[in-house]
Amino acid sequence: MEISFLNEMTKAEAEIYASLVNESYRDEEAGIWKKNHQRTTPAEILEFVGKKEIVAIKEANHFIGGIRVKMIDDQTASWRMLWVDKNHRGKKVTSKLFQFIEKDLRKRHVRKILFEVLRTVKWSHPKKDQLIAWYRRIGYKKTSTANFLDFYPKNKDTLATDVEFYLMEKDLTEDETNDQDGILITGHLNLYMLNKLFIEEASTIIVKGFIEKYVCETTVSSIMALNDDERKMFTEQSYSKNFDQDANSQEREKYKNMAWPLLARLRSFSGSYLSPIDKLRLAFDEIWPSGANLGTCHGFKMYAGKIRTQNDESSERSLQKIFDQQFVAQISLETGDLLLTKVENTETINKLQGTSLETYFALNSEGKIQLWS
């Protein structure tokens, strides 16, 4: 796929592009407009291209998606006329468009991006509801609503139902990150970044200083006070190796009996402060729309937070994979940094030196984040 701002376009190309946009909107806005409504025209497309406002994606030299980006002032932009060819939906075309325009706008020091969704008033339009939910997941927030006809009174006779503008915006400064080779390095975790990890647009997220220094020091001090047998309880037990076997297996029963006492002990390591694993769980729960909690297995809550010690002499290890899309979180107790990545990224995982707390996480069938070790 090739993606870029269009610098020029022939009349023939404009006719093709306008036809694709109109076809996409007939499908996406079915029930909103009367027949023969046109979202745009070839002349309008040529005008936008002349202003360098059209970003398009091509595959095999054919348009498969696009968006219009308009500058309002030096620090504010808006987008509209987003479309994706029906034969290419579900192939992350929209994600690539947003990734491209947001990266470009940040380079130009644009701080905010605005747009509006045309939404039905008296009934729920499934595709519009899905779009709004997706925009929220990538960091856009509702600001207000507005009467569509106040802006476009000439369209009154072409509407098939009452509609309004659902206005949304995104503060691009909230997502300022160092993005290299699919690794996001940031000072805070948010929905936009987490969603990029889940849809595999980012391989790894590193959140600097996720845990406060004094919590790290208190936790490490408590870990160092453990005797060898106690430490093995947190480090050597492979609690999830028989996760998908018979519920009455000895390993599962052992896990069940140890999970909560170990979790309570781990929490005590942080003294009166929130434990690192609990802070991670609460962060996920606040950020992710469907929430987050400790995983459950046959009716009992699972443990989360293995103690790991990695140094230059440690042998490389691979992690236990249970789900097709499974991730690992490592919280460094040396730096307080949080690392989130897929379990397959062993090279990244093995680079984390010193003592850390480690837990798996994945999305369950309801879309909720679940944590376990």
Confidence of residue 259 (pLDDT cuts 50, 70, 90): confident
Confidence of residue 332 (pLDDT cuts 50, 70, 90): very high
Considering only 23-32, 35-44, 201-210, which range has the smallest mean pLDDT?
Answer: 201-210
The pLDDT assigned to 88 comes to 87
Q: What is the pLDDT of residues 204-239, one digit of tens each?
A: 999 988 999 999 999 999 999 988 888 888 876 555
Residues 6+ apart with CB under 8 A from 113: 76, 77, 78, 79, 101, 102, 105, 169, 170, 172
- Predicted confidence (pLDDT) at residue 5 exceeds the cutoff of 80: yes
So where are the chain's domains? 2-172, 178-372
Report the alpha-carbon distance of residue 273 to residue 283 in Å, rounded.
15
Of the two residues 85 and 36, the one the predictor is more confident about is: 85
The pLDDT assigned to 369 comes to 92
Mean pLDDT (whole number) for 134-153: 89
Q: What angle do CA 290, 295, 301 make, to 5 degrees?
A: 130
Whole-prediction pTM: 0.58
Q: What is the pLDDT of residues 350-372, one digit of tens each?
A: 666 788 999 999 988 888 899 98
Mean pLDDT (whole number) for 187-192: 80
Average pLDDT taken over every residue of the chain: 86
Domain 2-172, architecture per CATH: 3-Layer(aba) Sandwich (3.40)
Report the alpha-carbon distance of residue 269 to residue 105 in Å, rounded.
44
**Do 197 and 178 contact (CB within 8 A), yes or no?**
no
Q: What is the pLDDT of residues 269-306, one digit of tens each?
A: 998 889 999 999 999 998 888 889 998 777 778 888 88
